[in-house]
Amino acid sequence: MVRSLCFSFGVVLSMIGLAAQRPLPKAILIDGHNDYPWALREHDPARDLDTLDISKPQPSIMTDIARLKAGGVGGQFWSVYVPVELQGQSAVTATLEQIDIVHRMMRKYPGTFELALTAEDVERIHARGKIASMIGMEGGHSIDNSLANLRMFFRLGARYMTLTHTANTPWADSANGPVEHHGLTPFGEAVVKEMNWLGMLVDLSHVSPETMAAAIRVSEAPVIFSHSDARALNDHIRNVPDDILKMLPENGGVVMVTFVPGFVSAKMNAWNSLSKDEQARQPMPKVTVREVADHIDHIKTIAGIDHIGIGSDFDGITQQIPDLNDVSKYPVLETELARRGYKDADLRKIMGENVLRAWRQAEQVSKRLQAERGPSTMLGPKQAATTPAAGPIEITIERTACFGVCPDYKVSIKGDGTVTYEGHQFVRVTGTRTWRIDPAAVAALASEMQQAGYFDLQDEYVARVTDNPTTWTSLTMSGRTKRIKDYVAGPPKLKEIESKIDQVSGVKQYVSPDRKDDDALWSAAADGDARAITALLAAGADAKQVRGEDGVSVVMQAAASGDAESVRMLIDAGGDPALRDRGGRNAADRARDGIEMVRVHPERNLVQATGRPRQYELILKLLTEE
């Protein structure tokens, strides 16, 4: 077991088909940032670990236990991120819930994970063959301007906190926000000092350069950047400028290089800034492991080898680097660095020793400070209201009838999680119903709509056709309200927003499926189009469909496509993977056919909808014990 959590360079080379070289001495790989806890919350607002059980293959996400072990992970900082749309007590509560997920992970998988509260714990847990698990808070809004909250989060296991996320706090400027404080306010400095007192690492990913510089000046302990790259290679606001890198040798801090394609590649950064229409005319740039290694080279040149770590951001990203697309792929990066001449000692530092050294120094600073003073009683800015500081959130969708077949209903979602449904005609349930969903899911949906440019869309999109429903949507947040009429002609991103509102609200159980959605589901399954399947299922399409003429199910259709996520979603929506067609064959047989087809015709190994490699082996594991 211990070997599976340690790197052996000869094994790494054999994994990727290279000639064996001398073995690399064992090292603990520590990743600074993984968002599995939020991925679970998005998958299931109740946060039930059984619904996304990582003891089993989980092709829909980037993390599961088998792949963690294959990647050689010895220590993992689990992010307990909550969106900035949650403020005040709502943010505190949601953060507690995310921390609870990590603690429940330790209980559910005791043979794999153990909570690490000190640098020494990491080494002890790793020596026992387990993955040391640490908690990282992603955003100072989680403490609601309270040093007491900060201290209690530390007591619960949090060992770093990112000072901001994508919006300013009342005491620190974010990379995304306007210049408000020019770094840190006096209370912001007190937060850094109290983190030093606790022995909690100060994380400067997401903050503005002025905040980075201010925090480094104030901090008596090394800082970290849990998931950032070098700004000199890609001028992205989330990356670290050279003048900040030059401050790290004196401070002792560590930049944990991330695998986010838009942070790694200047070309991808530029492509992401294009409009959807412009992106459709230009192929997406391909980002490689070599570009990640370039960032490591640059940080080594400017700051030195002692100031580099790894912070993937797996399960917190929507784009992927093909060479580094899940937690099994760290050896690919290690091999690239070894190819560039990095010595064994250098690789050990990058993979984990540097961040452990920074953590130990923070613990030593804490011991000294706690001998000198007690906890700070400084009061922060007036605590945020329990509703988001940006104002109330409300999201609505209203669909009208179309010649007696289309569901006619309205759904309103409030920021506190209250959902109100009004069923009018051609729905399963008429009348009014009210239920509650996770407020964090509402905040995340509102943020997603805003980031998708909802407020910049036209007020109406109308086509000169008949026999189609009109869909009205609206969003209220940050003191703004937008209402959009969509009669057929709305752009794809508006259609995606409409489907997402239905999905998040949970209205599907009350609305009759549209027959056209059922038909479209067959086409999406054949293409392996998981995104379209998500939208169609949310609109009420039936995952249990079987063709009468041959007994083929929609799950079989998806299995033949080679897209594992499509298969998983259909099964989760009620599709039966064990059904057999009139020839006695099931979905697993389709996956076996696909494996043979790719062996004979490797040129056909691409999913039609995405252009990604087909995943027949994963599908077979999903459907059987093979």
How confident is the model at residue 13, as a pLDDT?
A: 36
Crossing angle between the packed helical segments 530-538 and 515-527, to the nearest 10 degrees: 160
Share of the chain above pLDDT 90, in %: 61
How confident is the model at residue 625, as a pLDDT?
A: 60
Q: Which residue has the higher pLDDT, 254 or 552?
A: 254
Confidence of residue 217 (pLDDT cuts 50, 70, 90): very high
Confidence of residue 489 (pLDDT cuts 50, 70, 90): confident
DSSP letter for 285, please: P
Confidence of residue 26 (pLDDT cuts 50, 70, 90): low
With tokens 């998931």, the residue in question is 227
Q: Which residue has the higher pLDDT, 371 or 624?
A: 371
Summary mean pLDDT of the chain? 88
How confident is the model at residue 375, as a pLDDT?
A: 96
- Give the count of beta carbons closer than 10 Å to the beta carbon of residue 404: 8
Counting Cα atoms < 13 Å in the Cβ hemisphere of 601 gives 7
C-alpha span between 504 and 252 (Å, rounded): 44
Q: What is the phi/psi pair of residue 78, to 5°?
A: -90, 120
C-alpha span between 579 and 588 (Å, rounded): 10
Q: What is the residue-wise DSSP string for 12-37?
A: HHHHTTPPP-SPPPP--EEEEEE-HH
Domains along the chain? 3-372 (3.20.20.140), 394-510 (3.30.1560.10), 515-623 (1.25.40.20)
Helix (H) or strand (E) holding 485: strand 480-487
* Cβ partners under 8 Å of residue 318, min gap 6: none
Rounded mean pLDDT, 110-130 = 97
The pLDDT tens digits of the residues spanning 28-70 come to 999 999 999 999 998 888 899 999 999 999 999 999 999 999 9
How confident is the model at residue 115, as a pLDDT?
A: 98
CA–CA distances in Å: residue 486 to residues 115, 470, 535, 540: 50, 6, 16, 19
Helix (H) or strand (E) holding 492: helix 492-505
Q: Is the pLDDT of residue 389 over 80?
A: no
Rounded mean pLDDT, 499-503 = 88
C-alpha span between 260 and 252 (Å, rounded): 24
C-alpha R_g of the chain: 25
Task: Tell me if 315 sits within 8 A of 36, measured CB to CB.
Answer: yes
Q: Is the pLDDT of residue 491 over 70?
A: yes
Q: Which residue has the higher pLDDT, 407 or 116?
A: 116
Rounded mean pLDDT, 608-626 = 84
Per-residue b or e along 107-139, where b marks 16 or more CB atoms closer than 10 Å to that residue's CB: eebeebbbbbbebebbbebbeebbbbbbbbbbb
Rounded mean pLDDT, 322-345 = 96
CA–CA distances in Å: residue 440 to residues 49, 69, 98, 157: 18, 31, 11, 22
CA–CA distances in Å: residue 185 to residues 205, 214, 381, 385: 18, 10, 10, 20
Confidence of residue 626 (pLDDT cuts 50, 70, 90): low
Confidence of residue 290 (pLDDT cuts 50, 70, 90): very high
Task: Tell me if 144 sits within 8 A of 91, measured CB to CB.
Answer: yes
Per-residue b or e along 268-277, where b marks 16 or more CB atoms closer than 10 Å to that residue's CB: bbebeeeeee
Task: Tell me if 534 sits within 8 A of 499, measured CB to CB.
Answer: yes
Where does residue 367 rank: exposed (0-12), middle (13-18), buried (19+ CB within 10 A)? exposed
Q: Is the pLDDT of residue 174 over 70?
A: yes
Q: Which residue has the higher pLDDT, 468 or 251?
A: 251
- pTM across the whole model: 0.66
Of 299, 312, 309, 296, whose CA–CA distance to 349 is shortest? Answer: 309
**CA angle, corner 338, sides to 333 and 339, nearest 5?**
95
How confident is the model at residue 252, as a pLDDT?
A: 98
C-alpha span between 29 and 569 (Å, rounded): 32
Confidence of residue 464 (pLDDT cuts 50, 70, 90): low
The pLDDT tens digits of the residues spanning 396-451 come to 999 887 655 578 899 999 998 899 999 888 787 888 988 888 888 898 898 888 87
Cα dihedral across residues 260, 266, 272, 273: positive or negative: positive
The pLDDT tens digits of the residues spanning 538-564 come to 666 788 888 877 789 999 999 999 999
How confident is the model at residue 186, as a pLDDT?
A: 95
How confident is the model at residue 25, as a pLDDT?
A: 41
How confident is the model at residue 5, as a pLDDT?
A: 33
How confident is the model at residue 496, as a pLDDT?
A: 85
Q: Is the pLDDT of residue 388 over 50?
A: no
Task: Tell me if 517 sits within 8 A of 498, measured CB to CB.
Answer: no
How confident is the model at residue 540, as a pLDDT?
A: 66
Hey, is 321 helix, strand or coil? strand
Rounded mean pLDDT, 474-501 = 86
List, by residue number, the catalytic residues. Answer: 33, 35, 138, 165, 206, 227, 313
Of 329, 443, 344, 384, whose CA–CA distance to 170 is shortest? Answer: 384
How confident is the model at residue 264, as a pLDDT?
A: 98
Rounded mean pLDDT, 605-621 = 88
How confident is the model at residue 520, as a pLDDT?
A: 83
With tokens 């211990």, the residue in question is 2
Confidence of residue 467 (pLDDT cuts 50, 70, 90): low
